[in-house]
Structure 1
Amino acid sequence: MPLPRHRFAVNLSMLFTELPLPERPAAAAAAGFRAVELWWPWPATPTPAARELDALRGALRDAGTQLVSLNFYAGQLPGPDRGALSVPGEESGRFRANLGVAADFAASVGCTALNALYGNRVAGTDPGAQDALALENLVLAARAAGRVGATLLIEALNPLESPAYPVTGSARAVELAEKVNEASGLGNARFLMDLYHLAMAGEDPTAAISAYGAAHTGHVQVADAPGRGEPGTGTLDVPMLLKRLEQAGYDGWVGLEYRPSGPSADAFGWLEG
């Protein structure tokens, strides 16, 4: 049975990357989608020039696409970095410099979810000190998101691909979101449920959906596992999991965050059933 495309957001940091960034929203629209999501599009800087922000804003507008989720600055993605907010020194400062920029851009395009990646452990640095810094920065991120009416998303990655990243597994991410909510008093931090990362971490995605599908989840992302390709290229039953999410009461966006096996425009056949 075909899956309606209006439920899905195309991740323009993984799909349509054969095109320059300003051309990707139109390509997603041509493929039948009206919602998109992005990692922070300028990994080299947390504070891009106004003309770059304007160009992306105009591309989204002209394509008729809505940005539904945006990462805060997280360092070099794809690459070795996995976030900046728990990394002492310059990277933490860059994350803080990005908070207002990202929140204001999100507000200007109607984006209501901002994802804050935790960051890797740093050799020679006390993990407790990193966790304290992370909580401080996550509270600042919750306030920045709250100022523009957005949800703060907290994502669990998988230890196979991100061995130095300490937030793995749904329970850890949900616990962290609750801790941020308690510290900020805002209640706007939610779990970003990435079914690919859960599966690669050895977690049963169906159990995570049953535990956190509606009550704690603010956004969902999918890719097949292993390989992080489009559904049907691995062993993960993504259509079944999406049905489970619906049954659990989740009615939010589902981000298509996978690597296409060919041209991006041909990577959506699995939606036809």
Structure 2
Amino acid sequence: MLQELWKSDLPSKINITVWRATLNYLPTLVNLRTKRLVTEAICQRCKQGLETREHVFCDCAVTKETWKQLEFSWPQSIRQSEFMEWFTWILLNNTTEGGRIFICAIWAIWSARNSWMHEEQRRSGTETANFILRYMQELKDTKNKDLALNQEPELWRPPKQGFFKINFDAAFDSIRHKSCSGIIIRNFRGEIIASKTTVHTNIFSSFAAEANACLQAVREGRNMGLNHVIIEGDSLTVIKKAQSPERDRSEIGTFIFDIKAQAADFYECQFQQV
């Protein structure tokens, strides 16, 4: 099963943390008490048991909430078993993508535990689950973008006469929670009509950065008084959400709502992925 871990195509910080967990090298309170570094070993999150490795990842009430939100389940007999038996069962009974989410969850649960213990950031199990799903989506979007960059570049295609094409893209700084959106507007001859870059603060994912860049593209076209536009970007997820008539309830739902509301001011507005 450790081979599956190293083949998971996840960041090394995740694989190393999970590898340390399989060896029981993580500094749980029980491990620290064994080394006489602490005297109290009760789990500080749920106060319902000794903080062993198995408790952190299986039995803690906060952790159980995370697994429930991620829709992971396993036989009752496995729950109290030795860690590697539980770890192996999960990887053997899930898809490749499910295994990647599980491995990421082990890392995220330990990180959330550390934030609770050392930084007093009390993240619920549901919040941890949402973070895991967002993080996995960001990894997927980044990989897709890298694959697209390595392929033969597609030539930009001008819109038909009477339309303006607005291309958007975004850069994301995960450390400072900032993003930069860039847009460029061309007419049917391919002539540049306008371009703009804007730095944004309080952006917490690359997913949100792309959605915000799309919103900036729509706003700029509306501010210029354009009537027939094509909004084009490389984020397939954002484009699909903008095209969908359904209300979006994801973390970027607010951006998508604003995009649709402002796009309604055009005579015609199309969303395309490139």
Considering Cα pairs closer than 8 Å and 6+ residues apart, tell me whether 1 or 2 has the greater RCO.
1
One fold, TM greater than 0.5? Answer: no
| Bigger helix share | 2
What's the TM-score bracket when you normalise by the shorter of the two chains? under 0.3
Query: Which of the two has higher C-alpha Rg?
Result: 2
What is the TM-score with the length of structure 1 in the denominator?
0.24
What is the TM-score with the length of structure 2 in the denominator?
0.24
